[in-house]
């Protein structure tokens, strides 16, 4: 029986080797590309100097690329002119140090193509186009929309699937769109590992350089292990050191350390995501990292302002626990169970050592 499994099954070798093989494909979009927020000044306008400082900071902390005008970047709350200005600033400041994946979805295909042309001119590596939103369109409409963009864009296009906010892009549609050379990747924010595997199994055999990026950092390490090429997610704008480290640890197959950090990232992620309407929790956290992000363009009720202050304290302690910021003057609550956990940790450590000694591991 077993011998049947030792036969090489080509597509799976390829799938699992995605992250590895991609290291030698110079053009492939891989790694952590940060969909960053945009600092606003006291009048609600783009704070250009703070945005440039934030871009430098992210690059210094190891992000592999930048992604302006994503969901985290609140593209929909800016005007068309502002969206262009944001990409221009980011491309200029990045200055080729890292690639820029520019969110280019506009009111319709014509406007989107115009944005693609502009972003190509600014030096973006590729554009990212979210699936049509507001209306929930079916697969044929989604295909027709991206097809027209793929045919007319002067710059590489990545698809952006975020079914909680926009029309879903299903696997057969992705497979059809992968036939266009201009389409070079997909960002998927569903968080569904089996869906990611289905996409990879459908596209990678014929397009090994096609890039699969996850937008659900809660499961970044497992996504990389099943063959995703990288991630583009809000948390990398808060703790770029951590998401980069997760990527590197996974590439080196240091799973124990990677999983430890994945669990800690999940706690931070849940706190930012579920304590306020997205992406407000992330704005609070970026502020804690030392940036003047300004007030959201989405107004807040007085109840929300109180909740935001509570969230700020929680995030402050979480970030201090990582060592990324100084703890608050008033201190942080002791982490639950920590004594017991330490003790158990030692026991488990002993077990692992014993198992290794016996040759089980």
From 96-104, 117-125, 220-228, 309-317, span contacting its own copies (CB under 8 A):
220-228
CB of 74 to its own copies, least distance (A): 9
Least spacing, CB of residue 154 vs its own copies, in Å: 18
Binding residue for its own copies, selected from 26, 96, 256, 331, defined by CB under 8 A: 256
Torsion of CA 324, 325, 328, 332, to 10 degrees: 0
Residue 14 near residue 21 (C-beta atoms within 8 A): yes
Distances (CA, A) of 199 to 174, 195, 214, 228: 7, 6, 12, 10
Smaller CB separation from its own copies, 123 or 258? 258
Q: List the interface residues with its own copies, window 23-82 (CB under 8 A).
A: 23-24, 44, 71, 76-80
Residue 102 and residue 115: Cα distance in Å, rounded?
9
**Listed ranges 88-96, 189-197, 228-236, 309-317: which one lies at the site for its own copies (CB under 8 A):** 189-197
Residues 128, 161: Cα–Cα separation, whole Å: 10
Q: At 160, which helix (H) or strand (E)?
A: strand 157-161
In the bound state with its own copies, the residue whose beta carbon lies nearer, of 44 and 121, is: 44
- Within 10 Å of residue 357's Cβ, how many Cβ atoms? 9
The distance between the two most distant Cα atoms of the chain, rounded to a whole number of Å, is 70
Counting Cβ atoms within 10 Å, is residue 23 exposed (0-12), middle (13-18) or buried (19+)? exposed
Per rule CB under 8 A, count of chain residues that contact its own copies: 112
Cis peptide upstream of residue 274 (ω within 30 degrees of 0): no
Least spacing, CB of residue 123 vs its own copies, in Å: 25
Q: Which of 52, 53, 56, 197 binds its own copies (CB under 8 A)?
A: 197
DSSP state of 207: -
Decide: is 353 part of the binding site for its own copies (CB under 8 A).
Answer: no
Q: Which long-range contacts (CB under 8 A, 24 or more apart) does 81-87 make?
A: 82/46, 83/115, 84/115, 84/118, 85/46, 86/38, 86/46, 86/51, 87/118, 87/119, 87/122, 87/124
Residue from the set 261, 284, 288, 315 that interacts with its own copies by CB under 8 A: 261
Distance between CA 177 and CA 140 in Å, rounded? Answer: 11
Site map 286..325 versus its own copies, x via CB under 8 A: -----------xxxxx-xx-----------------xxx-
CB of 41: closest distance to its own copies in angstroms? 13
CA distance linking residue 78 with residue 97, whole number of Å: 26
Residues between 331 and 350 that touch its own copies (CB under 8 A): 337-338, 340-342, 344-345, 347-349
DSSP 166: B
DSSP state of 107: S
Site for its own copies, residues 225 to 254, rule: CB under 8 A: 225-227, 241-242, 245, 251-253
Q: Minimum CB separation from its own copies for residue 54, in Å?
A: 17
Q: Which of 107, 326, 331, 334 binds its own copies (CB under 8 A)?
A: 107
Of 31-39, 49-57, 109-117, 310-318, the segment contacting its own copies by CB under 8 A is 109-117
Of residues 145-174, those binding its own copies (CB under 8 A)? 145, 147-148, 164-166
Query: Toward its own copies, which CB reaches closer, 140 or 330?
Result: 140
Please, which residue, 259 or 292, has the CB nearer to its own copies? 259
CB of 255 to its own copies, least distance (A): 7
Minimum CB distance to its own copies, residue 126 (Å): 21
Residues between 121 and 150 that touch its own copies (CB under 8 A): 132-138, 140-141, 143-145, 147-148
Closest to its own copies by CB, 266 vs 332, is 266
* Distance, CA of 90 to CA of 311 (rounded, Å): 29
């Amino acid at each position: 029986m077993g011998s049947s499994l030792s036969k090489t099954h080509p597509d799976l070798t390829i799938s699992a080797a995605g992250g590895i093989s991609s290291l030698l494909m110079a053009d492939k979009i891989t790694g952590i590309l940060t969909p960053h927020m945009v600092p606003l000044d006291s009048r609600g306008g783009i704070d250009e100097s703070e945005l440039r400082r934030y871009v430098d900071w992210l690059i210094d902390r190891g992000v592999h690329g930048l992604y302006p005008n994503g969901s985290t970047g609140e593209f929909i709350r800016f005007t068309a002119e502002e969206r262009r200005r944001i990409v221009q600033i980011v491309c200029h400041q990045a200055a080729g140090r890292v690639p820029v994946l520019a969110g280019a979805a506009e009111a319709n295909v014509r406007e989107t193509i115009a944005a693609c042309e502009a972003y190509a001119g600014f030096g973006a590596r590729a554009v990212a186009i979210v699936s049509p939103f507001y209306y929930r369109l079916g697969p044929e409409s989604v295909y027709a929309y991206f097809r027209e963009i793929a045919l007319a864009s002067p710059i590489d296009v990545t698809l952006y699937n975020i079914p909680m906010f926009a029309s879903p892009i299903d696997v057969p549609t992705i497979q059809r769109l992968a036939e266009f050379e201009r389409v070079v990747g997909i960002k998927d924010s569903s968080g569904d590992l089996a869906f990611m595997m289905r996409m990879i199994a459908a596209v990678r055999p014929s397009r090994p350089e096609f890039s699969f990026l996850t937008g659900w950092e809660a499961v970044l390490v497992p996504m990389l292990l099943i063959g995703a090429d990288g991630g583009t997610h809000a948390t990398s704008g808060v703790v770029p050191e951590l998401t980069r480290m997760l990527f590197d640890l996974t590439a080196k197959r240091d799973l124990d350390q990677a999983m430890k950090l994945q669990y800690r990232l999940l706690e931070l992620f849940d706190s930012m995501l579920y304590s306020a309407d997205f992406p407000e929790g992330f704005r609070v956290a970026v502020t804690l990292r030392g940036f003047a992000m300004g007030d959201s363009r989405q107004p807040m009720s007085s109840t929300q302002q109180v909740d935001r202050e509570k969230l700020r304290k929680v995030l402050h302690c979480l970030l201090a626990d990582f060592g990324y910021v100084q703890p608050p003057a008033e201190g942080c609550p002791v982490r639950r169970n920590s004594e017991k956990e330490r003790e158990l940790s030692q026991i488990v450590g002993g077990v692992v050592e014993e198992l290794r000694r016996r040759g089980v591991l």
